[in-house]
Amino acid sequence: MATKPAQRRLTKEYAAMQREPPPFIWAAPDEKNILTWNYLIRGPPDSPFAGGEYHGVLLFPSEYPFKPPGIKMYTPSGRFQPDKKICFSMSDFHPGSWNPAWSVQTILTGLLSFMLSDEMTTGSVTSSDAHKRAFAGRSHAWNLTQSRFRDAFPEYCAPELQDLPNMGEKERGKPDPSTSPSSTSSEAVKSNPLPPDSSSSRLGNVANATAPIALPSSTRGRVDEVATNRANAAVGWIGTFRQVILEKWRWCAVLALAVMVSRFSTAS
């Protein structure tokens, strides 16, 4: 009988499993007992377990998450003894090393990592990679003969092996079709199309900005007229200035002549 903390915690973890399952792993609680979880592990493609399907069970204590679960694997794998508890750091063989923050996802990810290693422990067996590949090839057919498997995973009882929800696509960098950059880019192009060669267009804009500007004939005429008027005005202003200078020079000459005549008259 699950305590309220265990019930609450395992319900939350099942929601997390459905929302974001770890790679090559799927698990679900028994309909009659939330403390018993059936799991499936698929062998990663770069391992001797590639193509294998491994069914097992997690046996949670009523004190979970403050105590670790017992772990078994039913499907023959060449790595663990079928239907025997497995000893590793996240199982009930090591309650002293258990961390209450660990979850179902953490436990099964650790189990898969331990399965891919060569470390020997209680519940493990020794076999060659060839034997592991042979067990992997027979695993699904063997599971179909087991009532425990059929009751726990009826959706995976088809004659052909079926993929789990997460077959490692994210970890291998495989894009999600619904959110892939290509689809996003294509939508962006549709909504905001760009010229076929935006770089050439930008270079063309720069070249056009620095090239001489061709004006209409009417505009050129007005510009020429303004320039002519300004030139005439400048010439007229210079002429006026010269005329003023000449007039002042004449007056100075007349005054100087008058002074000289006056001096000569006084002297005589």
Q: Which two tokens stand for residue 213?
A: 């500007």
Characterise 54 by phi-psi region: left (phi > 0), alpha (psi -120 to 50), beta (else).
beta
Rounded to whole angstroms, how far apart are CA atoms 20 and 254?
A: 112
Which residues belong to the active site? 87
Alpha helices (H) along 74-216: 104-116, 129-144, 147-152, 181-191, 198-210
Rounded to whole angstroms, how far apart are CA atoms 67 and 94?
A: 10
Query: Strands 25-29 and 70-73: what pairing?
Result: unpaired
pLDDT average, residue stretch 59-68 = 97
Q: Pick the more confident residue, 96 or 216.
A: 96
- 8 A C-beta contact, residue 119 and residue 108: no
Is pLDDT above 90 for 220? no
Rounded to whole angstroms, how far apart are CA atoms 47 and 117?
A: 10
Lowest mean pLDDT among 102-106, 175-179, 229-233: 175-179
Q: At what angle do helices 104-116 and 4-19 cross, to 10 degrees?
A: 60
Task: Write 24-28 long-range contacts (CB < 8 A, 24+).
Answer: 24/112, 24/164, 24/166, 24/167, 24/168, 25/105, 25/108, 25/109, 25/112, 25/164, 25/166, 26/164, 26/165, 27/58, 27/104, 27/108, 28/152
Q: Answer yes or no: pTM beyond 0.85.
A: no
CA distances from 15 to 20, 21, 32, 39, 159 (A): 9, 10, 17, 15, 29
Q: What is the pLDDT of residue 229?
A: 53
Is pLDDT above 60 for 63? yes
Q: Calculate what percentage of the chain has a pLDDT beyond 90.
A: 62
Is pLDDT above 50 for 129? yes
Rounded to whole angstroms, how far apart are CA atoms 81 and 74?
A: 8
pLDDT digits (tens, 9 = 90+) for 85-121: 999 999 999 999 999 999 999 999 999 999 999 999 9
What CATH number matches the domain at 4-174, 3.30.420.130, 3.40.190.10, 3.10.110.10, 3.30.70.360? 3.10.110.10
Please, which pLDDT band fits residue 37 given cuts at 50, 70 and 90? Answer: very high
pLDDT average, residue stretch 36-49 = 97
Could you tell me the maximum CA-CA distance found in the chain, to the nearest angstrom? 159
Is pLDDT above 80 for 228? no
pLDDT average, residue stretch 20-49 = 97
- 8 A C-beta contact, residue 49 and residue 43: yes
Give me the chain's average pLDDT, please: 78
Write the single-letter amino acid at 162: Q
* Structural domain boundaries in the chain: 4-174, 222-268
pLDDT average, residue stretch 215-234 = 48
Helix (H) or strand (E) holding 7: helix 4-19
